[in-house]
């Protein structure tokens, strides 16, 4: 898919003490958990998180995280999604993965990452932010923390799909007409 995944050493975090005062959407909640995980990693120094990038006082996007991993600067985008496999949608394996509410899809998320979220780093509006951390845009690696829970139709249980990480398949579903 052309999205370099950040490689983190597994850590044994026994407890999480996060003060979450408001209801958060799943994606924002996962960002908090990932942030907590990053804070415990001795090879990582988090520089900034959830940075809104604005043009003329209008937000044009948000960078999830700027960090240094073993002294290498990284722009990290954090994604956590649920998708179901529906062969009636699209014409390829990637296009068959859709959100449970059918309002999004894996291919749309990958496209958004590649065309909007990751290119945000190279916008002129981001330059000042990078200067605050003495970062040069040309030395920053872009990586993703992309986690998904995938569900396949019951008749596909045990099948190996070619493109996705089959370890992300967490269960199956039955359609109403099955």
Q: What percent of the chain has pLDDT over 90?
A: 66
Q: Kindly write down the DSSP assignment for every residue of 73-142, as one continuous string.
A: EEEEEEEEEEEEE-TTSSSSTTTTEE-TTSS-BHHHHHHHIIIIITGGGGSHHHHHHHHHTT--GGG-EE
Q: Do the Cβ atoms of 53 and 63 come closer than 8 Å? A: yes
Residue-wise pLDDT tens digits, 41-76: 889 999 999 999 999 999 999 999 999 999 999 999
| Residue 175, pLDDT score | 80
Average pLDDT, the chain: 90
| Residue 178, pLDDT score | 67
Residue with more model confidence, 144 or 36: 144
Provide the residue ranges of all domains of the chain, joining segments of one domain with +: 26-173
Residue 71 tokens read as 């002294």
Residue with more model confidence, 1 or 65: 65
Residue with more model confidence, 11 or 165: 165
pLDDT exceeds cutoff 70 at 15: no
pLDDT exceeds cutoff 80 at 20: no
| Residue 63, pLDDT score | 97
Q: Which residue has the tokens 């449970």?
A: 100
| Residue 14, pLDDT score | 64
Residue-wise pLDDT tens digits, 84-130: 999 999 999 999 999 988 889 999 999 999 999 999 999 999 998 99
Rg of the chain, C-alpha, whole Å = 18
């Amino acid at each position: 898919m052309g999205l370099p995944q950040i490689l983190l050493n597994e850590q044994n975090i026994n407890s999480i003490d996060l003060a979450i005062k408001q209801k958060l959407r799943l994606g924002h909640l996962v960002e908090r958990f990932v942030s907590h995980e990053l804070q415990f990693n001795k090879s990582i120094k988090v520089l900034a998180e959830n940075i809104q990038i604005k043009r003329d006082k209008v937000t044009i996007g948000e960078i999830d995280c700027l960090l240094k991993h073993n002294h290498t600067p990284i722009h990290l985008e954090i994604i956590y999604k649920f998708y179901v496999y529906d062969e009636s949608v699209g014409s390829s394996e990637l296009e068959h993965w859709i959100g449970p509410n059918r309002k999004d899809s894996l291919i749309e998320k990958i496209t958004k990452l590649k065309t909007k979220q990751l290119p945000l780093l190279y916008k002129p509006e981001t330059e000042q932010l990078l200067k605050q951390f003495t970062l040069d845009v040309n030395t920053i690696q872009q990586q993703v923390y992309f986690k998904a829970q995938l569900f396949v139709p019951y008749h596909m249980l045990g099948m190996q799909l070619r493109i996705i990480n089959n370890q992300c398949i967490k269960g199956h579903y039955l359609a109403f007409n099955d």
